[in-house]
Every structure is written in structure tokens, then in C-alpha cells.
Amino acid sequence: MSDIRLDNITAAAVASFDGVPDARRRELLQQLVQHLHAYAKATRLTHDEWRAALAFLHRAGDISSANRSEFSLLSDVLGLSSLVDLLASTPGATPGSVLGPFHTVGSPWCENPADLTRDNPGEVVLLRGRVHGPQGQPLSDATLDFWQNAANGLYWQMDDSQPPDNLRCQLKVDAAGRFAIRTIRPQPYQIPTDGPAWHDVVPSAGRSAWRPAHYHLIVQAPAHRTLVTELFDAADPYLASDAVFGVRAALVRRYETTPDADVPVMDIDIVLAAA
């Protein structure tokens, strides 16, 4: 006879997954049950609150589509996405930061140095840097996948006036691991606030929905860990209040005037960890 009580329900629910064959999957499920139960016990979760949480998840599902994941946004505003990035970062390597919802697989390959300015309005700037391995050696076979928003704060997916390949590219670094992208200065923008992930969760905390201006980068090289990260503008007013917790000191750079460039330059050394 089973006798499920407050003092044994968690152990029973955890044990119900003992038969999951894959050890990692079993660990993930059993830890999830333990932490969910601990949360409910610690907060003395009520029926009304539990029903409200389920209704919230329904609303998040309803607004999600092929072009919008409200659950990703929820993960972002709770700091979970950024926590996973930090867990995957390697000491000594450039830290990871949020992939975000605007990455497009298969951006056009560009010459290096690249010029993405086209007829985009905005301040023309140069992003340049070098890709190294953990011992400082140049990674001459590294590739970059790059994307950013336009002067109006919008990514191409949000803006019918931009061509689909606007302000994004892939390129190969040169023999010394160097790259340069002539582009326009990205702008801060607000994450979507019209869905439940923001609307039902965050506003009462008085938080800002703004993300500080940034470039997105995916840096890959054979035998090294792929880096998904962002680079931030040191002059941005929202650095201290990024809505999705993506800012790391090592990723904040100032635009500098240098004699060898006709526009302000942001310079970055990128270090990839060994695979």
C-alpha cells in the first residue's frame, strides 16, 4: 500500500525516474523534481498560485511560434540563459554571452576586411580584432559569424525596410587571426514586452526592458570550443541594467580614434578555449 505524505512525496517522485536509462537525462529529471518540490515547500505554494503559474505557461505557449519563443524570453529575463552561458565559459577564454533570438544560420560569406555599411544610416565604425588560442597563438583558421541591429534599433527580422542579409555576415580571419568589419554603430533596444514573459513577470519589479548596444559573434576554430558572445559599447547607458544579464566586463569596449583608421574603432582580442 502506498502512503504518500508531505514528508515522502519528493523521494517518491524522484525515485519514479530511477529507471531512466540515460544517466544524464535521469539526473536532469530527478534534480528538476527535487528543486521544484523544494520551491513549492519553501514558498508554501497555494492552489491559486499554482493555477496562475500553469495559466501563465499556457499563455507563453499560445504566443510562441516559429518566429517567436516566449520561453526563450522567459529564460532570458530570469537570468537562466545567461547562467548557462557562464557555466559553459572557460576561465582564461573570452566569456560567452546571450545568443538571443536574432541569429540566422547561413549569413553571407564576406571578404575580410568586410564592409557591411551599404546605405545604412548611422555612425560608421570599425570592429576589428584577433582570434587566439589559450596560449596566445593566432588561430588562422577561425571563422566569425556576425550580426547586429540597425540604426533604428531593429534587426532585419523586425523591419521590412531592411534586406534580409543586412548587417550580418560570416568571414574567415587572416593568417594572423585578424578580422575587421566596417559597419554602423549598433543601438540599444528593448526586448519584447508585449507577451507574458515580460508583461506578467517583470514590470512590477521596476526593471528596464533595454539591452545595451552590442554586436553578436559566434567564433569557431578547429580543435577549439565555439564561442557565442556579444561585444558591448562602453558608452552605452544601459550597461548596468541589461534586461537579460549579458554584460561581462571583458566584453565591454570603447570606440577609439586611431591614426590608422578613418572612423572610430572597437578593438577586441578573442581567446578560444581548447576543445
Containing 33, the helix (H) or strand (E) segment is: helix 23-43
Q: Which residues bind Fe ion (CB under 5 A)?
A: 100
If the CB atoms of residues 31 and 104 are measured against Fe ion, the closer one turns out to be: 104
If the CB atoms of residues 133 and 236 are measured against Fe ion, the closer one turns out to be: 236
If the CB atoms of residues 100 and 133 are measured against Fe ion, the closer one turns out to be: 100
For the chain, give the number of residues. Answer: 275
CB 13 within 8 Å of CB 6? no
Which pairing describes strands 143-147 and 168-172: parallel, antiparallel, or unpaired? antiparallel
State the nearest-atom distance from the C-beta of 268 to Fe ion, in Å. Answer: 17
State the nearest-atom distance from the C-beta of 189 to Fe ion, in Å. Answer: 7
Place of cell 520561453: 71
State the nearest-atom distance from the C-beta of 116 to Fe ion, in Å. Answer: 15
Paired with 172 in beta bridges are 143
State the nearest-atom distance from the C-beta of 101 to Fe ion, in Å. Answer: 8
Q: Residue 131 half-sphere exposure, CB side, CA atoms within 13 Å?
A: 29
Question: Cβ-closest residue to Fe ion?
Answer: 100
Which residues have a Cβ under 8 Å from the Cβ of 105 and sit 6 or more positions away? none
Q: Which grid cell is 235? A: 558608452
If the CB atoms of residues 100 and 196 are measured against Fe ion, the closer one turns out to be: 100
